[in-house]
Structure 1
Amino acid sequence: MTGTQDFDGLSALVTGGASGIGAAVAAALLARGARVAVLDLDPKGAPEGALGIEADVTDDEAVRNAVDRAAVELGGLHTLVSNAGTGSIGTVEDNTDAEWARVLDINVLGMVRTARHALPHLRRAAAERPGAVSITQTCSIAATAGLPQRALYSASKGAVLSLTLAMAADHVREGIRVNCVNPGTVDTPWIGRLLGQAEDPVAERAALGARQPLGRLVSAEEVAAAVVYLASPASASVTGTALAVDGGMQGLRLRPVEVPRG
């Protein structure tokens, strides 16, 4: 992605941008010429050159202040990448009402709060730079494929997918495009912590990789490349789209690998 400066003169805010997918997105946007702010609980891990802002997406006032600060210090806001989220493991029997409320508050309402406060800035930018204004949200393959032990997480990401489509319809005539990416299992710090809790981390990593037809985990940089495409002026006609970056999980149905007979 180096050498392409299609975000020159544009500014972007990335939530959850200090680690994993968000940090990869922020770095990619910076490399393409964008001015970038990162909103995170702990922004110290933000890529060099990004403005780090500490905020919790479950706190509406903190989100409003963070978005307004980003818009002021960056000289406007053209791109919102709503990436902050959390994971959850278990069936519908395994998580309490409080845990459901916590995860939905972060994964769904966190995006609602961020978009709510970003929209006035995005509308102003759309009037000045038609085709260059967008919201891209991090969804998941869990929104479209049934995964075991992911009931709460899948429900939250299903809501993100529907939210993306509704927002795209609401704001298309304002010149604001809204899309999402649907990653498969991505090699992030959260997955690392999950593997660390497994009885056999090596076997569990192999199992996670094997369920993706490509046979490996998706990298954060691969997801970031998809986000940058959806946010870029090159996708000025793309809105209401969910772009899968999942190693083929959603669309491919391969035959099991046959074990050679001795």
Structure 2
Amino acid sequence: MAAGPCSEGRVVLVTGGARGIGAGIVRAFVENGAKVIICDKDELGGRALEKEFRLVQPPAGAVFIRCDVTREREVEALISETLQRFGRLDCVVNNAGRHPPDETLEETSSQAFRELLELNLIAMYMVSKGAVTALTKALALDESQYGVRVNCISPGNIWTPLWEELAVLTPNPSATVREGEQAQPLGRMGRPDEVGAAAVFLAFHASFCTGVELPLTGGAELGYGRKVAPT
């Protein structure tokens, strides 16, 4: 994807950017000419992704900064370092989060539930599932006076290392993956680069959109159960 005027030279911060969907978002912005800060607790993965971009010719403008987004002081330091390095910040993609454990509410400890909310709801304004649209709209209204747009992407089944790791833990991994693929009318899971393309669109092309939720689900929300015939 060639760099274009909408993203050339823009500075983008992606939390949870070391792997999976986050890495797909980082790659999409880099390919569109943006300078990207890869923010993650996973220093090994973040450094590896930074090195990958540094080795291309010409070297891409991507740097890794370690940050635990549940710690306010680390977030403040992250923003400060970003501004010192680049002098500006045009876009923040709040991707950091994790999937809830595969257990019922009764089985979940109060501490585990608080930790999940701290990451997905409080940290960097990320939210869990149902609250995402409401918070997006509220922030869009509050920040519009400053010319700031706030939109969100709601991914469905995206094939990531985490999806693969969870599938391996099930009694029949291949059947689990097949069920995941057949949950969408399109008959497959999404890819991290497709989430990245959606993020670039909302950030730099959809300039008159704010408070918008973009479902990235392959149509899974159109009904329930298996959407394609078994193969």
Hey, what's the Cα distance between the residues in 2 that align with 1:257 and 1:238? 33
Shift, 1:253, TM fit: 6.5
CA root-mean-square deviation: 2.0
Hey, what's the Cα distance between the residues in 1 that align with 2:17 and 2:195? 13
The answer to whether the aligner puts 1:241 opposite 2:225 as a matched pair is no
Identity of aligned residues (%): 35
- Which of 41, 44, 59 does residue 47 from structure 2 map onto? 44
The question of whether the paired residues in 1 share the 8 Å contact of 2:14 and 2:94 is answered with yes
Hey, what's the Cα distance between the residues in 1 that align with 2:132 and 2:77? 23
TM-score of the superposed pair, with normalisation by structure 2: 0.88
The answer to whether the aligner puts 1:209 opposite 2:181 as a matched pair is yes
For residues 173-216 of structure 1, what are the alpha-carbon distances to aligned partners after superposition, in whole Å with 9 as ceiling and x for unaligned?
Answer: 21000000011111111111101101110000001111111111
For residues 7-58 of structure 1, what are the alpha-carbon distances to aligned partners after superposition, in whole Å with 9 as ceiling and x for unaligned?
Answer: 1121110001110111111111111111111110022243513110011011
- Which of 56, 78, 91 does residue 90 from structure 2 map onto? 78
Match for residue 115 of structure 2?
Answer: 102
Residues 160-239 of structure 1 correspond to what in structure 2 (within 5 A)? 160-232=132-204, 234-239=205-210
Go from structure 1 to structure 2 and tell me whether the alpha carbon gap of 1:105 and 1:255 turns closer, same or farther (over 3 Å shift): closer
Go from structure 1 to structure 2 and tell me whether the alpha carbon gap of 1:205 and 1:61 turns closer, same or farther (over 3 Å shift): same
The answer to whether the aligner puts 1:21 opposite 2:34 as a matched pair is no
Point out the more displaced range, 166-175 or 246-255. 246-255
The question of whether the paired residues in 2 share the 8 Å contact of 1:5 and 1:31 is answered with no
Go from structure 1 to structure 2 and tell me whether the alpha carbon gap of 1:11 and 1:256 turns closer, same or farther (over 3 Å shift): closer
Shift, 1:94, TM fit: 2.2
Runs of 4+ in 1 over 3 A off after TM superposition: 252-260
For residues 135-166 of structure 1, what are the alpha-carbon distances to aligned partners after superposition, in whole Å with 9 as ceiling and x for unaligned?
Answer: xx7x7xxxxxxxxxxxxxxxx22222221111
The question of whether the paired residues in 1 share the 8 Å contact of 2:183 and 2:228 is answered with no
Shift, 1:218, TM fit: 0.8
For residues 210-256 of structure 1, what are the alpha-carbon distances to aligned partners after superposition, in whole Å with 9 as ceiling and x for unaligned?
Answer: 11111111111111111110011x21100000001101011357996
Where 1:93 maps in the other structure, the secondary structure is helix
The question of whether the paired residues in 2 share the 8 Å contact of 1:185 and 1:208 is answered with yes
The question of whether the paired residues in 2 share the 8 Å contact of 1:11 and 1:75 is answered with no
The question of whether the paired residues in 2 share the 8 Å contact of 1:107 and 1:157 is answered with no
Residue 46 of structure 1 aligns with an amino acid whose one-letter code is: L
Match for residue 2 of structure 1?
Answer: 2
Match for residue 152 of structure 1?
Answer: none
Go from structure 1 to structure 2 and tell me whether the alpha carbon gap of 1:212 and 1:203 turns closer, same or farther (over 3 Å shift): same
Hey, what's the Cα distance between the residues in 2 that align with 1:15 and 1:3? 22
TM-score of the superposed pair, with normalisation by structure 1: 0.78
Is there any run of 5+ residues in structure 1 with no aligned partner, and where?
113-136, 140-155
Go from structure 1 to structure 2 and tell me whether the alpha carbon gap of 1:185 and 1:259 turns closer, same or farther (over 3 Å shift): closer
- Which of 107, 121, 129 does residue 157 from structure 1 map onto? 129
Of the two structures, which has the highest relative contact order with CA contacts closer than 8 Å and spacing of 6 or more?
Answer: 2
The answer to whether the aligner puts 1:91 opposite 2:114 as a matched pair is no
Residue 17 of structure 2 aligns with an amino acid whose one-letter code is: G
Residue 182 of structure 1 aligns with an amino acid whose one-letter code is: S
